[in-house]
Structure 1
Amino acid sequence: MISPLSIIGVAGLLCVLAYKYILYPAFGSPLSALPTAHPLCSITSKWFDRQILRQRELTTLFAAHQKHGPLVRLGPHEVSVVSLEGLRNIYTAGLEKHSWYAATFENYGTPNLVSTLEHRPHSVQKRMIANVYAKSYIQHSTDVDTLSTSIVFGRFLPLLQKYADEREHVNVMHLFQWAGIDFMTAYIFGTAHCTDFMDDREGREAYFKDWSKIRNFDNSGENSVVEGLCMKLSSATLAAQDQPQNNDIAGTSPVVLSKLYSQLQQKAKAEDNQLSQTDLMKRCASELLDHIVATHETFAITSTYVLYRMSLDPALQKKLRAELLALDPSVTPGAAEEGLLPSPDRIDALPLLNGIIQETLRLHAAVPVRQPRVVPEGGIMLHSHYIPAGTTVSSNAYSLHRQPEIFPRPSEWLPQRWMARDDRSPIVDSFPGPEVIRKWFWAFGSGGRMCIGSNFALQVIKLIIASIYTNFETSIIDDEGIEQSESFIAGPLGNKLIVQFVPLT
């Protein structure tokens, strides 16, 4: 027979558990005053986790914010924020990252910028290479000019011409992955040691077969091709630098690797930290592999959506071509003979091209999902609500980029919304101007943790799109599967956009 004391003990335990996990989260927590994405969100995160599994994360977040405003509770200890105040107090203020980043983005068992959680060590490492990713540096770099000229005229345009001559139908998602990794590795390791995935079919197939396992969280094996490639390129580049000058080896400087390696050496020396060559290599490779992966994924997603949208609008292709042909030099076979590209600042200043890229990044952000941060000790105030320490807070580009009062007709792809009022068409004449909507643009994040490679990515994307539409028309053969990406890992990868390139006469 159960004793009365045992019954009282069990009842008391149940009361404590009910208070801790139901009554307090639902009625006593400072977060209880916030609206919820679903009534269950006040006591459990499982409802929202279920939406993620069903690939409804972004649409659920957007609908909840449209209904309830800038603050929405997603779980007992998680809040989603969609507002400029939220961006300022979470990301500009430098709240620490959630542990998810360390578990997801660390390479070789070694931290990098993305996986580093604490603000201070992140800032120290970022300063090591920030200057070589600055817009002014990239636009005036002879190395960037040389590698861009080599890749565009020596690889990319000849490959498109081959596709056009053979009337081949091209999966441009794959094409842009190859181009993205070739550009990034050329900047990191120099053109003497970079990949040539636009030509090296065996190498790219092995790499992306291995990458598809990682992307799908398949941890079988060691993913040796992806990690091995970065380590091999790092080793070969550093070994070549240690050799006496060899005039037979031509190519651009390994800009990023040289900078990072020397800075890590100086830091170790200043701290009297005897790092082995293996440790130095791992630290470099962990950081640089993240740059490579981020580039070939986000570059491919954005460029694919640009071609998708442009191929639906032949008239817009003609308008863009007229803008591109005004460049001197323009990206044409004649310029290839001279080995000249338009200056980066001239390409960057083209209003229609810029509007096309910005609007694609708005509507089809490559990283549209939540970017979680953790509220520090003492808590913070958001929209007059106290958010206690330990709460996960986040914003997301999908919802930010669809606020109807900032982006009227938010589901429509309208590049002219980014153009100056004198260049706009009547359809967007009453929309908020670029000076307003740029504040809400979050394709690369914001604050000290925003994407370090955004300037390089934008310059390469604009150059590639300019190269295409100066010389070719594009038309869609099969657009099955192209839809808004749900996450950085998934994106439209595995789907396809089949395009035909038609040379201009």
Structure 2
Amino acid sequence: MLPSLPIPNNLLTLLLLPISLSLVYFLKRSISPSPNDLHRIPPAHPLAPYTPLWISSIRWQSRENATLSAAHARLGPVIRLAPREISVNCVIGGIREVYGGGFEKGERGGKGYNWYGFFENFGGVPNMFSTPDNKTHSTRKRMLSNIYSKSVVLSHPALREQVSTILYTRFLPYLAATFSKAEKPGVLNIYELLSATTLDIVTGYVFGLASGTDMISDPKTLAHYLHLYTSRGAYTFWPQEYPGFTYALERWLGYRFVPKWVDDANAEIYEWVMGMCDSAAQVLRKGEWSLEDTPVVYQQLSQALDKEAKKKGDDAGDRRVGIASEFLDQVTAGFDTSGITLTYVVHELSKHPDLQSKLREELLGLTPPVRPSSAPSLPDPRAVDALPLLHAVIWETLRLHAAIPGPQPRFTPPSGCRLGPEKSYYIPGGVRVSASAGLLHMNDEVYDNPGEWRPERWLEDVSEEKKRNMESRWFWAFGSGGRMCIGSHLAVYQMKFIVAALYSNYTTAIIDDTGIEQVDGYTAPPSNEELLIQLQRVKTG
């Protein structure tokens, strides 16, 4: 059992914070002085033009999203956070140029650090998400983009079979079993169940059902791995923002910002995912498997890497770890973000019973509806995807409750660029720049009353210009450009089917939503990671 997880607040950490940040800043500034070109950009804090201490302290306190929101509201779409860092909150002169223009995740030539290196696994093995340069990312993305494309996801027979098995033999029986409890029948923590279901679907598509997880049927194992996964969250600041200093401090002075047990938790997660990879590889070696046991994504990547390895002469052992690092990132990102979104779908629908009834009416019009009597048949995924109210509910939740609302850093190209709505600011090369979905989605010129959960906004008859702004330009739940989320279509597919299964059979009402507020972080689950709801069976004719 891992220890409880307080925010690091011991005396030594507090003493080292100003000293270490000052040292890192001095070293960085001596190599790369603050560019005078940024003096016209309004600073979010008086110290921002002179030191990164201010924004670093905000991040250390987990207040970045709220702080950036207030600063942009006060100062405009482009603000300065540090001598060599800015934040943008606009499309033209912002995300279109930075993300659509292919700015790198890391500085060219190895300068500075790679913020995304924190997402490497197995002791520094990169994956598609963590790669700093676009060329390497593009090579890997070409190997997987087809299998994650919308056309393939909506039509793949193995995925449909996998989702059918999970919904009809795991998810719906689990819900039905809650009514047999002696105490509080029909009451459950829906966040936990939704996390289990998305994990089972994602690992099913990647590794096949036989090699993937069955967390719905094994809540103890689910709780264990969720604890391993989430308990590390309070210790991300130092290795992510100051990786070199963190490493040097541990190596030369023996002081760890990150406790040893976090390494042990990572090691167990690595072993768990490696086991699924090895099981999928064994299925492929046997040469025969059922449709639901098809390791769809694993097969695609492993075959592509085998072909590449023959040209380069890569080591099979290295390739095995590289595949595991890739799928650890895809599995954790795929289940976590979808589980968070679905939790807020249920929370919002539980507060809006009239809308819940309208959604159920739409869902029961599917042929067949997702009810136990329909097993094992599922409606055509294209028909589910086309349901207008279901789509509006999912999209509005992705907008208001973005699972990843935090900044997505990039670095400006060596030649520099011009940013701002009128391209009024020249930004030199090597400056860290980021945008945030949590801020873009709150633009009241695009989304009327943006703080309200109002799915009908996606169904209203609006101008083509407003529609484009809402649906593509400012909607950023999956990012944009060449490095937007590769698994977005799988995420939407599984969320729509899970909502269809739940609300075709039950109504939901809130029992206890204490701590439902999202944490202020890069990823933003409920602060309590629990939502207790009451189920009631739906009576149909």
Name the structure 2 match of 1:87.
95
Q: Is the 8 A contact 1:420 1:433 kept in 2?
A: no
Q: Is the 8 A contact 1:215 1:490 kept in 2?
A: no
Rounded Cα–Cα distance in structure 2 between residues aligned with 1:252 and 1:346: 25
Name the structure 2 match of 1:35.
42
Deviations 1:346-386 (A, max 9, x none): 11111111111111111110010000001111101112210
Distance 1:73 1:250, change over 3 A: closer
Matched to 1:107, the amino acid is N
Matched to 1:115, the amino acid is S
Deviations 1:220-255 (A, max 9, x none): 243233111110111111122212537xx6733101
Rounded Cα–Cα distance in structure 2 between residues aligned with 1:448 and 1:78: 22
State the 1:129 CA deviation: 0.7
Deviations 1:419-448 (A, max 9, x none): 141xxxxxxx79984332112000111111
Rounded Cα–Cα distance in structure 2 between residues aligned with 1:407 and 1:431: 14
Pick which of 119-128 and 165-174 moved more.
165-174
Name the structure 1 match of 2:151.
136
Give the alignment partner of residue 217 of structure 2, picking from 196, 199, 223: 199
Matched to 1:194, the amino acid is G
Q: How many residue pairs are counted as aligned between the two chains?
A: 470
1:295 correspondence with 2:303: no
Deviations 1:56-106 (A, max 9, x none): 211221222122221111111101011112111100111110444443110
Pairs within 5 Å for 1:409-488? 409-421=449-461, 433-438=466-471, 439-488=473-522
1:96 correspondence with 2:104: yes
Q: Is the 8 A contact 1:206 1:225 kept in 2?
A: no
Q: Is the 8 A contact 1:476 1:499 kept in 2?
A: yes
Rounded Cα–Cα distance in structure 2 between residues aligned with 1:350 and 1:219: 49
Name the structure 2 match of 1:160.
175
- Root mean square deviation of aligned Cα: 2.0
Rounded Cα–Cα distance in structure 1 between residues aligned with 2:418 and 2:64: 25
1:376 correspondence with 2:413: yes
1:116 correspondence with 2:131: yes
Name the structure 2 match of 1:222.
264
Q: Is the 8 A contact 1:417 1:431 kept in 2?
A: no
Rounded Cα–Cα distance in structure 2 between residues aligned with 1:495 and 1:198: 17
Name the structure 2 match of 1:275.
314
Distance 1:208 1:239, change over 3 A: same
Name the structure 2 match of 1:186.
204
Distance 1:283 1:202, change over 3 A: same
User: Unpaired runs of 5+ in structure 1?
Assistant: 1-16, 422-428
Q: Secondary structure at the match of 2:433?
A: strand
Q: Secondary structure at the match of 1:370?
A: coil
Rounded Cα–Cα distance in structure 1 between residues aligned with 2:217 and 2:188: 15
Q: Is the 8 A contact 2:516 2:526 kept in 1?
A: yes
Pick which of 461-470 and 157-166 moved more.
157-166
Give the alignment partner of residue 361 of structure 1, picking from 393, 398, 405: 398
Q: Secondary structure at the match of 1:111?
A: coil
Name the structure 2 match of 1:73.
80
Give the alignment partner of residue 345 of structure 2, picking from 302, 306, 309: 306
1:385 correspondence with 2:425: yes
State the 1:276 CA deviation: 2.7
Rounded Cα–Cα distance in structure 2 between residues aligned with 1:227 and 1:55: 27
Q: Is the 8 A contact 2:131 2:137 kept in 1?
A: yes
State the 1:51 CA deviation: 2.5
State the 1:180 CA deviation: 1.2
Name which one, 1 or 2, has greater alpha-carbon Rg: 1
State the 1:168 CA deviation: 4.1
Rounded Cα–Cα distance in structure 1 between residues aligned with 2:465 and 2:440: 15
State the 1:124 CA deviation: 0.2
Q: Secondary structure at the match of 1:305?
A: helix
Q: Is the 8 A contact 2:350 2:510 kept in 1?
A: yes
Q: Is the 8 A contact 2:446 2:466 kept in 1?
A: no
State the 1:482 CA deviation: 0.6
Distance 1:149 1:244, change over 3 A: closer
Matched to 2:307, the amino acid is Q
Q: Secondary structure at the match of 1:331?
A: coil
Q: Secondary structure at the match of 1:436?
A: helix
Pairs within 5 Å for 1:32-71? 32-71=39-78
1:407 correspondence with 2:450: no
Distance 1:403 1:431, change over 3 A: farther
Q: Secondary structure at the match of 1:97?
A: coil
Q: Is the 8 A contact 1:484 1:492 kept in 2?
A: yes
Name the structure 1 match of 2:363.
324
Matched to 1:291, the amino acid is Q
Name the structure 2 match of 1:239.
282
State the 1:466 CA deviation: 1.1
Deviations 1:127-168 (A, max 9, x none): 001100000000010011100111111111111111244314
Rounded Cα–Cα distance in structure 2 between residues aligned with 1:340 and 1:446: 35
Q: Secondary structure at the match of 1:327?
A: coil
Name the structure 2 match of 1:174.
192
Name the structure 2 match of 1:335.
374
Matched to 2:136, the amino acid is P
Matched-pair identity in %? 38
Matched to 2:361, the amino acid is A
Rounded Cα–Cα distance in structure 1 between residues aligned with 2:292 and 2:530: 34
Q: Is the 8 A contact 2:405 2:524 kept in 1?
A: no
Name the structure 2 match of 1:348.
385
Pick which of 213-222 and 87-96 moved more.
213-222
Q: Is the 8 A contact 1:306 1:360 kept in 2?
A: yes
1:492 correspondence with 2:526: yes
Q: Is the 8 A contact 1:210 1:226 kept in 2?
A: yes
Pick which of 367-376 and 327-336 moved more.
327-336
Matched to 2:101, the amino acid is A
State the 1:491 CA deviation: 2.6
Q: Is the 8 A contact 1:101 1:114 kept in 2?
A: no
